[in-house]
Chain A
C-alpha cells in the first residue's frame, strides 16, 4: 500500500517523528474549518499517490481567504500523471535552514533494510550524487550505526542526536508496519536548529495487510480495483483506449510493451491470473465495458493451467448478454486453444496466430 503524505505523517506522529502542524480534508467545507484552525499563511498540498506534484503545481502557498477559495477547488480537482487528488493537506510553513534526505528501504537483492541518507534533500534522491548507503540487516537500526550515518552527512552535536533519534524511530516504524519504503524528504534543519520531517512517503507490503488491521483505513482503492481484487485478477488503469488482457503478469507486461511500441495506448493492464475462471474473466469484461474510452480489446493468452476455453466461454457469455460491443483482437496459445478458436469463430473476436498481428489490428482500430 502506498500511503499518501498525510497518512505517512500520521504514522510519523504515532512514532514520535516531528512534522509541521497540518490538517487533511476531502471537501472545501472541512477545508475552511481547517484553514481557520491553522491560520494563514500555510501551504495547500494535493495528496496523490505519485511523485512530482511540486513541479506539477500541486503545492501552493496560501495567505488569505480569497486565495484559499480560489486555490482549494483548483487543487482538489486536479490530477497529476493521471491520478486524481485524493485529499488536501493544509500545512504550516517551516523556517528552513537546510534540507536533508533520509530513507529506509527493503533492499531486495541483499534481502535486508538499507539506509540512504544525504546532506542534499528536497529533490529526487536518484539525482543526488552525494549519498550515504548502509545495509542494516532485518532488525532495528542501532544507535552506533545511526550515529555514523549522521556524521557521514555532516551532522554534529544536537543535530546528530536528533537525527539518531529520528532514524531509530523511522526504523521502528518500518519494522512494525512492514514497510518496503519509509522516506523523509526533505528532512529539514530549521532555523532554530531542530530537525523536522517536511514530507513523507511510506509503502507497506500488501501481502502483510492481513496482520495490519490498523492500516486498513488508509486503503484507497477505486471501485474497479476492489472488484478486480475480489475476483483475483490484477488491474492497473491507464488513460489510453486499448484494453490489454492476458494471463500472467510477465505476459501481460510484454503485450503492453508491444502495444505501446506500435503506437497504441493501453487503457488497462489486466492479468486474469493463474486461477482465472469463466466468472472472473466475465467480471473483467464487465469492468472494461464500463470504461467509455476503450475502443478495442486485445487478448493475449498462453493457456497452461488456465484453459483458453475457460476464457473463450466468458467472451461468448459477454456477447450473448450484450455486455460488450467492442472489437476484440485475440491470440490464443496453449491448452485447448484450437477448441477456443472454434468457439469464438462466429463472434466479433478476430483471431490471430501471432501477437504482433493482433496488436496491429487493435492499434489501427483504436487510432481510427
Chain B
C-alpha cells in the first residue's frame, strides 16, 4: 500500500525533520483554485506547478508555472501530489490526467461529482496504486508541515492524534476542540460527504494506524452508507490498541432525506445513526453525544 505519510512529509533528513513535498494544483487559474492556492502557500505548502488546459506558459502570482496537463507538470517538477479544483463535470478527465501521469496522492475537492465518474476515478487509482481522497473533501493536512486542502489553518496544531472525518466543518470544530485541550494532530483526513469515497473510513484508518508517532485516533462519521460499521468490524477483527473515540452526526435526521451531503441519507435502517453507534460500541469506541464532548472522551481514554 502507498504510504500517505511518506508522500506528504517525505523521509526525515539528517536533522530529524520532515521535508515539504511538492504539490500540483489542477484548476489553479479558477476563482476557487486560485484563492486556495494562495491560502495553501500561506500555510507553507510547497506548490510547484499549476494546471489549466490552454494556459501553459502563464505564471500564477508571477512565480508558479502553469502547464496544459498534469503530464507536463509532473515531467517538469516530479511532484507526486495533486489537488483538483475543477468543476464537477470536468472532474473525471482531470483525475485521469493526474492518475495516468504518476500522481500518487490525488485530493479531489469538487462537490457534485456524479457517482459513476467518482467510481471510475477510484477504479483507476486502484490500478495505479495511488490514493484518492474525496471527492467532496476538505482535503488532508499534516499540521505545521503541509496542507493540501481547503481547511482553515487555525483549528489545527501539530501533535499525535489522527482525525478522520466525513464532514468538513465538524473536522474543523472537533480539531479546534482537540487543539484547545492540548491534543495536536498528526494528520487529519477529510473522507468526504459523497456516497462513494476514494479513501473510505477503513482505508484511512489502515493508512494512518501504524505510524509510530500516532498516539490516538478520532473518527467523525455521519448518517448514510455503512463505512462506520465496516470500520468498526475491521477494528473488532484486527484489533487496535491505541485510544480511539468517535462522533456520529445525524442521530435525529428524518429518514429518506438528504441532509446537505449527497451521501447523508438513511434508507430504511441502512445508514442510520443507531446502526453506526451500536457498532462503535461493539468495537469499544465511545461515541460523543455532541462535538464538544469528543476531546473530553479522548482525555478519559488517554488517562485510563
- Which residues of A come within 8 Å of B, CB atoms? 2, 49-51, 81, 106, 108-109, 111, 124-126, 138, 178, 180-181, 205-208, 210-211, 234, 236, 238, 246-254, 256-261, 269, 271, 274, 302-305, 333-335, 354-356
Contact = CB atoms under 8 A, between A and B. Distances in A.
Nearest to A212: B114
Contact of B225 (A108, A208, A269): A108
Contacts of A333: 173, 176
Contacts of B256: 2, 49-51
Contacts of B114: 178, 205, 207-208, 211
B154 interface: yes
Interface in B150-199: 150-152, 154-155, 165-173, 176, 193, 195-196
Given A178-B115, A205-B116, A251 B170 contact: yes
Interface in B89-129: 89, 111-116, 119, 122-123
A331 B258 CA distance: 25
B172 A109 contact: no
Is chain B's binding surface mostly helix, strand, loop or mixed? loop
A304 to B, nearest CB: 4
A108 B196 contact: yes
B207 interface: no
Interface stretch (B12-20, B41-49, B262-270): B262-270
Contacts of A248: 167-170, 260
Contact of B165 (A207, A250, A269): A250
Contact of B152 (A49, A124, A271, A335): A335
Category for how many chain B residues contact A = 35 or more
A138 B119 contact: yes
Contact of B262 (A2, A207, A302): A207
Interface in B243-263: 247, 249-263
Given A108-B225, A238-B254, A253-B253, A178 B116 contact: yes
B167 A111 contact: no
Given A108-B225, A109-B227, A250 B263 contact: no
Contact of A261 (B123, B167, B252): B252
A249 B191 CA distance: 14
Contacts of B202: 109
B269 A254 contact: no
Given A248-B167, A250-B168, 19 more contacts: A2-B256, A108-B227, A109-B200, A111-B123, A178-B114, A207-B262, A208-B115, A234-B258, A234-B260, A246-B169, A249-B193, A250-B260, A251-B249, A256-B253, A257-B250, A259-B252, A261-B251, A269-B253, A334-B154
A253 B222 contact: yes
Contacts of B249: 250-251, 253-254, 257
A249 to B, nearest CB: 3
A251 B261 CA distance: 11
Contact of B289 (A125, A261, A271, A303): A261
Given A208-B115, A302-B173, A250 B220 contact: yes
B170 A254 contact: yes
B152 A247 contact: no
26 contacts: A81-B254, A109-B200, A109-B225, A111-B122, A124-B268, A206-B112, A206-B262, A207-B262, A210-B89, A234-B260, A236-B259, A248-B260, A249-B167, A249-B169, A249-B222, A250-B166, A250-B261, A253-B222, A257-B253, A269-B257, A274-B111, A304-B150, A304-B169, A305-B150, A333-B176, A356-B290
A251 B258 CA distance: 14
Is chain A's binding surface mostly helix, strand, loop or mixed? mixed
Nearest to A264: B252
Contacts of B257: 236, 269
Interface of B: 36, 88-89, 111-116, 119, 122-123, 150-152, 154-155, 165-173, 176, 193, 195-196, 200, 202, 220, 222-227, 230, 247, 249-264, 267-270, 289-292
Nearest to B171: A250
A116 B11 CA distance: 47
B259 A108 contact: no
Contacts of B173: 251, 302, 333
Contact of A126 (B167, B195, B268, B291): B268
Contacts of B268: 124-126
Contact of A334 (B152, B289, B291, B292): B152
Contacts of B193: 249-250
Contacts of B252: 256-257, 259-261
Nearest to B263: A108
Nearest to B220: A250
A274 B155 CA distance: 17
Contacts of B168: 248, 250, 274, 304
Which of B122, B154, B173, B220 is the most central at the interface, judged by chain A CB atoms within 10 Å of its CB? B173
B28 to A, nearest CB: 17
A174 B173 CA distance: 38
